[in-house]
Amino acid sequence: MADHWVENHKRDSWRRQAKASGYRARSAFKLKQIQAKFELMREGDVVLDVGCHPGGWAQVAVEEVGETGIVVGIDLEPCQPVDGALLMVGDITDSLTQERIVKELGDRQVNSVISDISPDITGKWDVDQAVAMTLVAKVFDFALPLLCSGGWFVTKLFQGVGVEELIEAVKPHFSYVRRFSPEASRNSSSEVYLICRNHTPWNAKSTSVLNRYEQAVNKILGGDDIIDDVVATKTSFTVRRKKTE
Ligand SMILES: C[S@@+](CC[C@H](N)C(=O)[O-])C[C@H]1O[C@@H](n2cnc3c(N)ncnc32)[C@H](O)[C@@H]1O
């Protein structure tokens, strides 16, 4: 009960600070704290903001990249405009949405992908976790080819089944991959941010994070086992045919 009270109090405090500073969501402070520690965005950068509604991260990204930079955001929900950012509505896993993003970027490569994406929660913990992990893997598969060599990828994850497998699937693409929990999200949930630095596109054997992730998860769940030494069991079951006249 006391823990719950402290948790709520902290959350409210970030919310109040966000309001006072003109940010749309307390999540803005999470990105600010990630930025303060890792300096992933710089003036003039191209940033792809995945799951951008209501626009808190986009506000922070615009501050960091300045007038010479570009911020493109995508979310299922429409956002109020953010000066200096192009915020689009669509499903990041949908090929038409992906085409629109690629078109907006033109021939520019992305310096940082910042993804705070989280699917709707059903309350069934294991289902939610599986859906969230798969969604993150799909974002990697779409956005990695757009990311420049040396680029950054920051994504929200929920601690639980499949996290280690996802991290292993991502590692070949970057020279540095670690988890980070910003002060603004501590105690609030199982959420953690995966910080991937220095994109190394020449390093990964397979480009699909989703495939590697699914293979690894199937292995731990035993779903992919092919049993080829099965001995047929005897059965007393017989088929009786109806006599025809
Ligand atoms: C925690 S919110 C993001 C908050 C945002 N970073 C901010 O600071 O304002 C997560 C968002 O992910 C979005 N989302 C979930 N699935 C998505 C999908 N398939 N494509 C695009 N956005 C998605 C949700 O609509 C939700 O707005």
Q: Of ligand 1's atoms, which has the minimum distance to the CA of residue 51?
A: 12
Instruction: Write the pLDDT tens digit of every residue in 204-234.
Output: 877 799 999 999 999 887 765 555 566 666 6
pLDDT tier at 4 (50, 70, 90 boundaries)?
A: low
Q: What is the pLDDT of residue 5?
A: 62
Q: Which residue has the higher pLDDT, 243 or 120?
A: 120
Ligand 1 atom at shortest distance from the alpha carbon of 60: 8
Q: Which of 38-42, 150-154, 174-178, 180-184 has the lowest mean pLDDT?
A: 180-184
Q: Is the pLDDT of residue 86 over 70?
A: yes
φ and ψ at 83, to 5 degrees?
Answer: -55, 125
* Mean pLDDT confidence for 162-182: 96
Q: Average pLDDT of 71-86?
A: 98
Q: Is 156 a catalytic residue?
A: yes
pLDDT at 12: 72
CA of 132 to the centre of ligand 1 (A): 11
Over residues 115-128, mean pLDDT: 92
Query: What are the chain's domains?
Result: 2-221 (3.40.50.150)
Q: In what order do the strands lie in the sheet with 85-89?
A: 85-89, 70-75, 46-50, 110-115, 147-158, 191-199, 174-180
List, chain by chain if needed, residues with CB within 6 Å of any ligand 1 atom. Answer: 24-25, 27-28, 51-57, 74-77, 91-93, 116-119
Judge whether residue 20 has pLDDT over 90.
no
Confidence class for position 188, pLDDT limits 50, 70, 90: low
Q: What is the mean pLDDT of residues 224-245?
A: 60
Which contacts (CB < 8 Å, 24+ apart) does range 172-175 have?
172/200, 172/203, 172/204, 172/205, 173/140, 173/144, 173/199, 173/200, 173/201, 173/203, 173/204, 173/209, 174/198, 174/199, 174/200, 175/200
Q: Which of 23, 118, 155 for mutating ligand 1's site (highest number of atoms within 8 Å of CB)?
A: 118
pLDDT at 16: 80
Please tell me the total number of residues recorded for the chain in this structure. 245
Supply the pTM of this predicted model: 0.88
The contacts found for 171-174 with CB under 8 angstroms, 24 or more apart, are 172/200, 172/203, 172/204, 172/205, 173/140, 173/144, 173/199, 173/200, 173/201, 173/203, 173/204, 173/209, 174/198, 174/199, 174/200
pLDDT of 237 above 90: no
**Residue from 103, 156, 219, 234 carrying the catalytic annotation:** 156
Question: Which residue CA neighbors atom 25 of ligand 1 most closely?
Answer: 76
Mean pLDDT over each residue of the chain, to the nearest integer: 89
Residue 21 has what pLDDT?
76
What does the pLDDT average to over 148-153? 98
